[in-house]
């Protein structure tokens, strides 16, 4: 059985499957903490929500990229990926806290593309910082 798990194709498929599952769970968590429904807003053509959600997807994937590169077991990769996601989520709350003049969620729901763009860039930027810490 060890030979099966040491096969590179099996490892890639395992990492891929786990990351997809984690992505779904993490996006569901983001859905809970935001005041708008991501996929409903995107379906309506809300570009700000699409940018913010795209940034979150990129951020999560980028964190797992670093986690996969640096850790040689699936369980360790998942653990560091979850830790990185928690940090990314904390970054979201810090962003909300640092903008007391307006509410991020409300602006994104109103399709304020400037706020959506900044949200996307923050998610992507933080994913690189988190990834560097993981590696």
For the chain, helix, strand, coil in percent to 5 are 85, 0, 15
Write out pLDDT tens, residues 64-90. 999 999 877 889 999 999 999 999 999
Write out pLDDT tens, residues 1-32. 667 767 889 888 989 999 999 999 999 999 99
Number of domains in the chain: 1
The contacts of residue 49 (CB under 8 Å, 6+ apart) are 36, 38, 41, 42, 108, 109, 111, 116
Please tell me the predicted confidence (pLDDT) of residue 7: 83
Mean pLDDT in the chain?
92
Of 11 and 55, the structure prediction assigns the larger pLDDT to 55
What is the residue range of 27's domain? 2-134
pTM higher than 0.85: yes
């Amino acid at each position: 059985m060890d030979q099966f798990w040491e096969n590179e194709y099996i490892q890639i498929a395992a990492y891929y499957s786990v990351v997809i599952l984690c992505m779904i769970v993490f996006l569901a968590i983001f859905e809970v903490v935001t005041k708008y429904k991501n996929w409903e807003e995107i379906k309506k053509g809300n570009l700000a929500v699409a940018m913010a959600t795209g940034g979150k997807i990129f951020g999560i994937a980028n964190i797992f990229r670093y986690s996969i590169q640096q850790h040689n077991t699936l369980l360790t990769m998942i653990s560091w990926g979850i830790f990185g996601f928690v940090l990314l989520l904390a970054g979201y709350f810090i962003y909300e806290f640092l903008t007391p003049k307006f509410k991020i969620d409300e602006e994104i729901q109103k399709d304020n593309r400037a706020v959506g763009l900044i949200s996307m860039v923050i998610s992507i930027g933080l994913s690189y910082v988190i990834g560097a810490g993981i590696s």
